[in-house]
Amino acid sequence: MAEDDWEDKLYFSLSDLEEQPPQVLIVGSGPAGTAVAEYLYEECEDVTIGILERGTIFTVTHIINSIPLYLRGAFIEAMEQFPWDGAFAPKEDAQGKRQPETGGMMIFALGGRGIVAGAHLRRFYKDDFRLWNQGQWPVTDLAEYYDRAERVRNVSFGESEGRSQTWTLGRLEEYNASPPSWGLDIRSNRNKEISRGYDSSAARLWDLVLRDYVKAKVGNKKRRLFFAPQAYVTQIAHDRERVRGFVCREAQDPRKKDMIVLGAEQFVLAASPIESARLFLNSGLGEDRPAAGRYLAEHIYCRGLVTVNAPDNDPHEQYVNVVVPPQRKQQQQRFQIHVQGDPVPGDPTKICYRLTGEAAMDPQRENRVTVDGSAEDEYGVKKATVFLEYSPDDATRLNIMKNEMRRIANELGGNLDPDKDLKVLAKGRSHHEAGTLRMGHPDQLDSCVTDSYGQVYNISNLFVADASLFPCVGVANPMLTITALAYRVAEKICTSLKQGQSATMMVKQEEP
């Protein structure tokens, strides 16, 4: 294909990328992959970036910017995929029909699960980085990367306001309740800027695609960003010390067996903790890395509803969104409680509160992803099998959280029986999995896979950028930390590329 033809394409095929390899190749277009691409495009001048996405393009924004909120669940049910066996696999009834609200899921599409994600974007609590004996982070100062993530993702407060919000915050003052930080652009035609609503990786990546396209068409610039949908990466080709390429195939037709090996200078895994670990293990990279696939963790979710007398009879004043943070530093208190309130249809004197407890799991070596003996998917690639069990401390933490949810319900004028009214969600339903390719110190290679910048130990050009890196899951929603950490990984990749270019220039200058 002639180089001039590249400026006429918004997105690309595997053959296109084989013909003109980018310098950096990223697996996954979700929050982590998008953040890496953003940083490199803006901060690493002239670098070329390829993004490989197994799915197609369903939307170029968060789904709630396109459909009513009440249809979000139906959209997820129509689009979700279940590529795993084991603990996160959905349960089926006697007729083989999947039971609702069981198992983890993926959405194979531009933006990944980010197109349907909730909007809570809070920094991890400081204690999360250092509290767990088996989950100490080698880096704890993410302030500058958090700052960037909050700016890019339009993080703000003020999504809910009114009499009920104020009353709820007052009733829960002793719990240090506060509104959550929210990835929601609430501007409206301010200084000629139009509000864009819910943030998502799909919107930000598509903005980059369009910006790169326009620069090439009207600015006589070279193409730098190459998004390839329906590209299934099945293996990492390597020689133990360096990656040679990603082995890919077209995802739209499992019957097509043709493989393409895409080369690059640097390679990035950003496909999710389970999918990145699956790819890593299917490529034989776990043979001399005992921690690969291990220390899987997620959030334990518990939910309950309580209807109480509304502090204001105007339904427009009855929306509530507050978070109760961990009350103590002890591991048994590592949970937060999300309190949401909505008017009761047809009864302006009542408000319905939904309480969601979100507890962090212990990082346990036995909780893992494996491909040993796994079944194969429709493409003939080994699936990931997920093993996940709660520890005794997890069970204790869950019971403490349930009792705290009961106390909060009482403060709001309602009653919750921890045994009857609170439902613990199935494993995988938090969609907040973490671990499997953890970062750590070089003297701890039995419990980590990468350094603090996401570079895989003993492989010079392979990086991990998603929540696989997390030594522990933390308490808050992990989305903002995923974004911040991916910026940090991208910074290291940018530095590596610049050092490589400088070394090449020095060699050329020394040549006779």
String of DSSP letters for 224-258: -EEEE-SEEEEEEEE-SSSEEEEEEEESS-TT---
Q: The tokens 């690639």 sit on which residue?
A: 381
Q: Which residues contact 69 (CB under 8 A, 6 or more apart)?
A: none
Per-residue confidence (pLDDT) for residue 387, from 0 to 100: 97
- Beta-bridged to residue 331, according to DSSP, are none
β-strands 335-344, 320-324 pairing: antiparallel
State pLDDT tens for residues 150-187: 999 989 876 678 899 999 999 999 999 999 998 887 66
Per-residue confidence (pLDDT) for residue 132, from 0 to 100: 87
Give me the mean pLDDT over the 91-102 stretch: 84
User: Taking the domains of the chain in order of start, what are their residue ranges?
Assistant: 9-154+199-301+365-390+432-505
Rounded Cα distance between 308 and 344, Å, is 10
Contact 153, 121 (CB under 8 A): yes
Grade residue 96 by pLDDT with cuts at 50, 70 and 90: confident
Give me the mean pLDDT over the 46-58 stretch: 96
Per-residue confidence (pLDDT) for residue 498, from 0 to 100: 87
**Is it the case that residue 502 has pLDDT exceeding 60?**
no
DSSP letter at 90 equals: P
Per-residue confidence (pLDDT) for residue 441, from 0 to 100: 95
State pLDDT tens for residues 412-464: 999 999 989 999 999 999 999 999 999 999 999 999 999 999 999 999 999 99
State pLDDT tens for residues 130-145: 988 889 999 988 999 9
Rounded Cα distance between 308 and 403, Å, is 19
Per-residue confidence (pLDDT) for residue 190, from 0 to 100: 60
CATH class of 9-154+199-301+365-390+432-505: alpha beta
DSSP letter at 278 equals: H
Rounded to 5°, the CA angle 64-66-68 comes to 60
Per-residue confidence (pLDDT) for residue 159, from 0 to 100: 65
Sheet holding 231-238, edge to edge: 231-238, 243-250, 260-262
Q: What share of the chain has pLDDT > 90, as a percent?
A: 78
The residue type at 188 = S
Rounded Cα distance between 350 and 355, Å, is 16
State pLDDT tens for residues 348-399: 999 999 999 999 999 999 999 999 888 999 999 999 999 999 999 999 999 9
DSSP secondary structure letters along 139-151? ----HHHHHHHHH
pTM above 0.85, yes or no: yes
CB < 8 Å & 24+ apart, contacts of 166-173:
167/311, 167/312, 168/320, 168/322, 168/339, 168/341, 168/412, 169/322, 171/411, 171/412, 172/322, 172/324, 172/339, 172/408, 172/411, 172/412
Look over the chain and give the mean of its residue pLDDT values, rounded to a whole number: 91
Q: Is residue 200 helix, strand or coil? A: coil
The residue type at 366 = E
- Beta-bridged to residue 157, according to DSSP, are none
Residue of higher predicted confidence among 498 and 110: 110
Phi, psi of 96 (to 5 degrees): 85, 10
Residue of higher predicted confidence among 60 and 220: 60
Q: Is residue 387 helix, strand or coil? A: strand
DSSP letter at 500 equals: H
Rounded Cα distance between 116 and 96, Å, is 27
Per-residue confidence (pLDDT) for residue 508, from 0 to 100: 43
Grade residue 5 by pLDDT with cuts at 50, 70 and 90: low
Per-residue confidence (pLDDT) for residue 504, from 0 to 100: 43
HEC string for 35-65: HHHHHHHHHCCCCCEEEECCCECCCCCCHHH
**Is it the case that residue 489 has pLDDT exceeding 90?**
yes
Distances (CA, A) of 100 to 80, 97, 229, 510: 12, 9, 29, 66
